[in-house]
A and B are shown apart, each in its own frame.
Chain A
Amino acid sequence: AQSVAQPEDQVNVAEGNPLTVKCTYSVSGNPYLFWYVQYPNRGLQFLLKYITGDNLVKGSYGFEAEFNKSQTSFHLKKPSALVSDSALYFCAVRDYRDSSYKLIFGSGTRLLVRP
């Protein structure tokens, strides 16, 4: 079965510093990986995805993610954090079963950027 794991419940970083939010995956076949962000009292918003191609994927709001097949990881990164980046971040993997696509989500990582 497809799964993703987010080993950190919370990540704290100072504004202006680089940030990393970790995700590892377990899939059969080629992975289709996603990052979503959830701001307080809002639904999830798509940030970026990896389907195939370059291992460094660029997404919205200056975020990028690095796909590493040997380490089965898909870490989310940003070179310089903003206070407004504080939110809940979810890694997800696509699961295709019963003729339909579903997303399997990690448990989420809360990012707190302090001024």
Chain B
Amino acid sequence: NAGVTQTPKFQVLKTGQSMTLQCAQDMNHNSMYWYRQDPGMGLRLIYYSASEGTTDKGEVPNGYNVSRLNKREFSLRLESAAPSQTSVYFCASSEGQLQYFGPGTRLTVT
């Protein structure tokens, strides 16, 4: 039982490049989330998916898109990366009150 997994662990992009962050959970949870973590700002919600087939914007969605591919997988895409998107990205899943987090992806955009 791996919980929430994320790939890649690290990534360096040049401004304007695109990439997709992958997230999968094996706990059969309905809800999944993408956060970014920046120093002094805690975690901010980018997008979430309350259930398979639905996605909604969170607090900071600009510059990102998401896909809820199936119940297990929820990907985050940066179409044209910008230095302001340098951050640590966390995926989470939940069923009810608790959220379970993946190990994170550290993204640097130069």
Contact = CB atoms under 8 A, between A and B. Distances in A.
Interface of A: 6, 9, 32, 34, 36, 41-46, 49, 51, 90, 94, 98-103, 105-108
A43 B90 contact: yes
Interface stretch (B40-48, B62-70, B76-84): B40-48
Contacts of A98: 50, 56
Interface of B: 4, 31, 33, 40-45, 48, 50, 56, 58, 90, 92, 94, 96-104
Residue from A42, A46, A90, A103 with most neighbouring chain B CB atoms (10 Å): A103
Contacts of B50: 98-100
A108 to B, nearest CB: 5
**Majority SS at the chain B contact face:** strand
5 contacts: A43-B4, A46-B100, A94-B97, A100-B56, A102-B33
Contacts, number: 59
Contacts of A44: 43, 90, 92, 99, 101
Contact of B40 (A45, A90, A102, A107): A107
A34 B40 CA distance: 19
Contact of A100 (B43, B48, B90, B101): B48
6 interchain residue pairs of minimum CB distance: A43-B101, A100-B50, A105-B42, A44-B101, A107-B42, A105-B43
B98 A46 contact: yes
Contacts of A100: 31, 48, 50, 56
A27 B34 CA distance: 23
A62 to B, nearest CB: 20
A6 B41 CA distance: 11
